[in-house]
Amino acid sequence: MVNNKFDFIKASRIAVIISLFFIIATVIGLFTKGMNLGIDFMGGKTLRVKFSKDINISPDILRNSLKEIGPRITNVGKDEKEYIISYKDEKFNVKTKLTELFQDKYEILSEDFVGPKIGKEFQSMAYQATIVILIIILIYIGIRFKFKFGVAAVIALLHDVILTLGFITYTGYEFDITLLASVLTIIGYSLNDTIVIFDRIREEVKTHHLGKEDYSMVVNLSINKSLTRTFLTSLTTLVALVALLIFAGIELKAMAATLIFGIIVGTYSSNFIASPVVLAWEKIKKRSGSKKTKKS
């Protein structure tokens, strides 16, 4: 008798319904609300400004002073009081505003401009990079395991990406290169977790006689045997990210929050989405095989 501590296969039916609900909510949000794209994808300006040491300045003071344009402020060095100011409104004269507030106690070190056309090219490159990554993953897992495992992994990763984009959309975070890197990191993390479970399924299939035991029992056993490793890996990663979310500056909070959400979703999908897809594939394969036998 196989000891399955928790029936992930049975619970996956409810999990799929929950996932479909959030996927639909994400699609609705993307079409109605849309993502808050950063200057990397929409175009805008970036100024690197150095303030005098005798002036009282901080990211919050700068952000409140320029709230008309909703800038993204990055602290380059606290001792040197250097800041990178990024904003989308190209018509707004930031230099005039800074002179009005701080007179001559600041210096523009550099000024960069990203045009809307370049921003759209970055968008296209981001989409292409994600698609290429998913195709490579499908081929890699198909070669290392079987094609069904590759399909299951890609479905789970698409699930993670869609839900993470929904999180970014509804939180209103500015989607820039940093958050794109976070999404790609989530893909890598989720894939690693999924491969561990797939490897366990492959090993358990070799040691069990599937004629006597149901394939779902073997899949369920594999998930349970990988659960401790999955839990500890996710927990240690989340502890570090929560610390980053609490203690890091506002510039890194969106990245930390997105990674926390993505890792939770990725762990969930490895257990409740990817593995049940493999089982569903196997059931469909057996049904088609039995139909062919009856016809012959």
pLDDT tens-digit series, residues 140-187: 777 777 788 888 888 888 999 999 999 999 988 888 888 888 888 898
Identify the pLDDT of residue 75: 73
- Residue 21's pLDDT band (cuts 50, 70, 90): very high
Q: Which of 3-7, 275-279, 280-284 has the lowest mean pLDDT?
A: 3-7
d(CA 48, CA 85): 6
Whether 136 has a pLDDT exceeding 60, the answer reads yes
Task: Map out the domains of the chain as residue ranges.
Answer: 8-37+118-286, 44-114
Q: Which residue has the higher pLDDT, 128 or 43?
A: 128
The first and second tokens of residue 94, run together, are 């930031």
Phi, psi of 93 (to 5 degrees): -90, 95
- Residue 116's pLDDT band (cuts 50, 70, 90): low
Phi, psi of 73 (to 5 degrees): -110, 130
Whether 1 has a pLDDT exceeding 50, the answer reads no
Identify the pLDDT of residue 105: 80
Q: Which residue has the higher pLDDT, 239 or 247?
A: 239
Cβ-proximal residues to 86 (8 Å cutoff; 6+ apart), any chain: 38, 39, 44, 45, 46, 47, 71, 72, 73, 74
Q: Which residue has the higher pLDDT, 296 or 226?
A: 226
Whether 17 has a pLDDT exceeding 80, the answer reads yes
Segment 277-287 shows an average pLDDT of 77
Q: Which of 77-86, 112-121, 273-282 has the lowest mean pLDDT?
A: 112-121
Q: Which residue has the higher pLDDT, 255 or 59?
A: 255
Identify the pLDDT of residue 292: 54
The first and second tokens of residue 49, run together, are 């400004």
Q: Which residue has the higher pLDDT, 268 or 134?
A: 268
Radius of gyration of the chain (CA): 25
Q: Which of 57-66, 259-268, 272-281 has the lowest mean pLDDT?
A: 57-66
Nearest CA-CA partner of 122 in 73, 176, 79, 198 = 176
**Bridge partners of residue 47, in order along the sequence:** 85, 111
Identify the pLDDT of residue 212: 44
What CATH number does domain 8-37+118-286 carry, 3.40.50.2300, 1.20.1640.10, 1.20.120.80, 2.60.40.1840?
1.20.1640.10
Architecture of domain 44-114: 2-Layer Sandwich (3.30)
User: In terms of DSSP bridges, do strands 72-77 and 82-87 run parallel, antiparallel, or are they unpaired?
Assistant: antiparallel
Whether 115 has a pLDDT exceeding 80, the answer reads no
Phi, psi of 169 (to 5 degrees): -65, -50
- Residue 290's pLDDT band (cuts 50, 70, 90): low
- What mean pLDDT, rounded, does the chain reach? 80
Whether 275 has a pLDDT exceeding 70, the answer reads yes
For the CA atoms of 19, 21, 25, 27, the dihedral, rounded to the nearest 10 degrees, stands at 70
Query: What is the identity of the amino acid at 161?
Result: V
Whether 113 has a pLDDT exceeding 60, the answer reads yes
- Residue 293's pLDDT band (cuts 50, 70, 90): low
